[in-house]
Structure 1
Amino acid sequence: MNPITVKEIVKATGGTLLMGKPSDVITGVKHDSRECGADDLFVAIIGENQDAHKYIGQVLENGCRAVLVSREGEWLKQAEALGAAVVLVEDTVYAMGELAKYYLDTLNVKKIAVTGSVGKTSVRDMIYYVVNEKYRCGRNLKNFNNFIGLPLSIFQFDDSLEVVVLEMGMSDFGEIDRLASIVKPHIGVITNIGVAHMESLGSREGIFQAKMEIAKHIAGDDELPGTLIYASDSEFLTKERTKGNYDQISVGEKGKDDYIISSVDDFGMDGIKFTLEHAQEVRQISLPLPGRHNAINSALAVAVGDLLGVSPEEETDGLAAADLTGNRLKRRENGSICVIDDTYNASPDSMKSALRVLEHSRCDGKKIAILGDMYELGEDSDRQHFGVGLFAGGLKIDTLIAIGTHARKICEGADGGNPQTAYYEKKEDFYQDKDRFIENGDIILVKGSRGMKMEQVVENILKQ
């Protein structure tokens, strides 16, 4: 982070300087008291279970000399004695976003924002690796994509960067609007409109409207026109429904798309190969990442790279080097069996994509899917779980094991199809029974929503 003064913090946040010198400088922003150092601004966040104001005394004792607060307390005497700067605001989370907006505006960078129901972290990572072949590029820390994580990621950037790519997550209306207002991207990317967060958004139409909040904040400049890039579908992400005061670029498998994907060869965990056509130029792309869905994801990254002047050779090298964040279709082995660890999260679309990867993967034994509950599907939950099972039933896999409360419907959907099925309400019940399903040479997909903690299943399998 480049240095900024307390005076700038007060101006950016609209806060009040209760004490301290306006000329004091900070070079970092932290919300975790355990990580806060002498040159950091500590942001005291009031969460559902914790009020970080109670740690202010501790961070001051550890050397921190600037705090952003939303209420006063006994620690003010300690701050005054130490000469610390105290900035009072109404809402520290909102103020941190305003400070991130101000700070990002001080950097001379091209800004790319990514959202979507599924695949946004993968697309963000692919864009990063493609663009980083030509420019010094920054991206979100880990999966930090909300009101707290996105600003914290921005504070990691400095003058050495030329391009930043920022993922934006959401679970309700107005969240993308707020995040996009902080970033004000030159390029907005929407990966798809799925059914994740149906519980709070009500319908796919609602999800589309929430994702499109990114569009109102797209702002180009003389060097780079404002552009919305999206993976086209026939219902929501179309030229007509996404039009606005910016350029549009569509990616898909139809002849009318700007980037046309065809001839996709799926080699399971060994990756994919496909043809990509754009502006009468045709290229063959081989991707070491598994999953047919990554043809669309990588084409979105190529479209961004083209706008920024990245060469086809650099784009190919970037995609080959891409290392995706988190447990997304990661190969893990213990010498005798192979696990496809896709436990980061789950939605109906990503479940189906992962099942396709399992079907096309090579192995000497059986192909086994262990699937957990998918959350936040609202009244559509039973139908979506049943639909995943129905899809799995038509694939060439040997065994489907469902774990959780809602996952019973996955088994019901798959019954009568190709795989043998089994259902367990709890992971512990499966552990007692696992040896009758798993043998040397098998390949096993494990996937479920984050709250299911399906990574525990992975560890249990690998330790056998």
Structure 2
Amino acid sequence: MKNMSLENIAAACGGRYYGDENKKKQIVTSITTDSRKAENGCLFVAIKGERVDGHDFVSQVYREGALCVLSERELTGDELGGSYILVESSLQAVKDIAEFYRQQLDVKVVGITGSVGKTSTKEMIASVLSEKYNVLKTIGNFNNELGLPLTIFRLREEHEIAVLEMGISDFGEMHRLSKIARPDICVITNIGQCHLEFLKSRDGILKAKSEIFDFIAGDGSIVLNGDDDKLAGISSVKGIRPVFFGIESGREIYADNIESRGLSGIQCTIHVCEEKSEESFTVLIPIPGRHMVLNAMAGTAVGRLLGLGLEEIRNGIGKLESLKGRFHIIEHAGRTIVDDCYNASPAAMKASLDVLSEAQGRRVAILGDMFELGEDSALLHAGVGEHASDNRIDLLICVGDMCRHMAEAAFNSGGCREVLQVPTLEALLQTLPKLTEEGDTILVKASHGMHFEKVIEKLQEL
């Protein structure tokens, strides 16, 4: 890891080094907060979590060959097996060290945020850029104030681009993430209705998400969804004029000839307008949903900013692969299971229902509670129920306390052939084998805390 000597690490986080002075110039091979991933030459950061205290594993990581430990407490006795750096806060130290490391590398950073679609947009952009560059991207949900630094620690000198997902739930968080990431290109997917419990309104969400611009590079670029009314009003940030993408013409990047291919994907023509010229290409996006067209346009915008040709961009879009829990399609026991259970918001729920409505056979939606929606939670859940009714879903199964509003709205609207309300996940798992049949296409979606991955596991046992 470039310039990541123990001496520099201690200075970056304001820590005090204890141990062999001859080792201070040594470079760590990796940085981890997971004792199971400790390896020879690594720096292990001991963090006290809600359930596990990393300090309890200090002796173990020394035995695994850790070069040094970063600790919030003095290490003594049997646990002291080598050098360590003492800090007031391990979490703050991780952020400070990541900020230092980011600035040691000659790498372009694409920072992505938004209420909905951050992960799918991140995957799209990374797929496009991989046609030309050595790309590192955020894995899983490593997008917060601990996950982002851990992602940055995976960067090596051979990487040319980092595509970083940046997620928040309150004011100030994005400011701190931006300080670490120092993005060269900022992408915002939309301003929706997530985290209303903390951010109160869409204007509050816009303000919080816009903190991504706080540490943008002086020669940086901004890519925004021009179809979003809140984002469309941004004309300039620090003298940077945004690049807008959207379905309607008039944007720098726009799409038309949009044609659903069912669960096989969605085809469209993407137009690129640059300095009085316009070029276009037609592409089949291999993951279904109209929202994927927006993701493809975001990928196109970033690709053009970083020098890719249209053929490279088209190839990158076409190679996109789905992720577990993110509209991942599983064929099992004569059923098509749509694993979209990683997380949920009203807009994402509705988009997934739109795709389900185009499926062949009986269309089944198993939907669970959406969290952090604030005082309008009941109304927003009801809106999803009405949308399911509008899409004529054959069987709508609503699971959880707030989902009773979804079930009631769907039932009263009358568009679904059958609506079931199930109070708990446990109750659903007991009755699930009786609710599905061969030929079904089954959408499974809820907020992450509902643990709907258990529904996917149960369906795969049929």
User: How would you bin the TM-score normalised by the shorter chain?
Assistant: over 0.9
- 1:176-226 alpha-carbon deviations (Å, 9 max, x no partner): 111111111110000111111111111111111110000121114xxxx31
The alignment's C-alpha RMSD in Å is 1.7
- Once residues 328 and 183 of structure 2 are traced to their aligned partners in structure 1, the CA distance between those partners, rounded to angstroms, is 31
- Once residues 433 and 60 of structure 2 are traced to their aligned partners in structure 1, the CA distance between those partners, rounded to angstroms, is 50
Q: CA deviation at 1:360?
A: 1.3
- 1:75-118 alpha-carbon deviations (Å, 9 max, x no partner): 5x753xx4x22112221111111111111211111111001111
Alignment of 1:112-191 (within 5 A): 112-191=110-189
- 1:253-296 alpha-carbon deviations (Å, 9 max, x no partner): 23332211223212231100112222122322211111110000
- 1:400-451 alpha-carbon deviations (Å, 9 max, x no partner): 1101111111111111332121110023323444455322111111111111
Q: CA deviation at 1:227?
A: 0.9
Alignment of 1:245-394 (within 5 A): 245-279=239-273, 280-361=278-359, 363=360, 365-394=361-390
Q: CA deviation at 1:396?
A: 3.1
- Once residues 153 and 335 of structure 1 are traced to their aligned partners in structure 2, the CA distance between those partners, rounded to angstroms, is 38
Other-structure match for 2:20: 20
Q: CA deviation at 1:355?
A: 0.4
Amino acid at match of 2:248: K
Amino acid at match of 2:367: L
Amino acid at match of 2:375: E
Amino acid at match of 1:41: L
Q: Of 408, 414, 424, which aligns to 2:410?
A: 414
Which moved further from structure 2: 431-440 or 144-153? 431-440
- Once residues 240 and 231 of structure 1 are traced to their aligned partners in structure 2, the CA distance between those partners, rounded to angstroms, is 10
Do 2:3 and 2:104's aligned partners in 1 also have CA atoms closer than 8 Å? no
TM-score, structure 2 normalization: 0.94
Which moved further from structure 2: 112-121 or 452-461? 452-461
Amino acid at match of 2:4: I
TM-score, structure 1 normalization: 0.94
SS in 2 for 1:247: coil
- Once residues 432 and 101 of structure 1 are traced to their aligned partners in structure 2, the CA distance between those partners, rounded to angstroms, is 48
Do 2:128 and 2:317's aligned partners in 1 also have CA atoms closer than 8 Å? yes
- Once residues 210 and 167 of structure 1 are traced to their aligned partners in structure 2, the CA distance between those partners, rounded to angstroms, is 15
Q: CA deviation at 1:13?
A: 1.3
Alignment of 1:3-42 (within 5 A): 4-21=4-21, 22-42=24-44
- Once residues 283 and 425 of structure 1 are traced to their aligned partners in structure 2, the CA distance between those partners, rounded to angstroms, is 48
Q: CA deviation at 1:49?
A: 2.9
Q: CA deviation at 1:236?
A: 1.0
| Cα distance change, pair 19–339 in 1 and its aligned pair in 2 (3 A) | same
Structure 1: runs of 5+ lacking an equivalent: none
Do 1:370 and 1:447's aligned partners in 2 also have CA atoms closer than 8 Å? yes
- Once residues 338 and 75 of structure 2 are traced to their aligned partners in structure 1, the CA distance between those partners, rounded to angstroms, is 50
Which moved further from structure 2: 239-248 or 177-186? 239-248
Other-structure match for 1:402: 398
SS in 2 for 1:444: strand
Moved over 6 A (4+): none
Q: Of 105, 108, 112, which aligns to 2:106?
A: 108
SS in 1 for 2:379: helix
Q: CA deviation at 1:304?
A: 0.2
- How many equivalent residue pairs? 454
Do 2:223 and 2:242's aligned partners in 1 also have CA atoms closer than 8 Å? yes
Do 1:271 and 1:290's aligned partners in 2 also have CA atoms closer than 8 Å? yes
Q: Percent identity?
A: 38
Other-structure match for 1:238: 232
- Once residues 49 and 167 of structure 1 are traced to their aligned partners in structure 2, the CA distance between those partners, rounded to angstroms, is 26
Structure 2: runs of 5+ lacking an equivalent: none
SS in 2 for 1:360: coil
Do 2:367 and 2:398's aligned partners in 1 also have CA atoms closer than 8 Å? yes
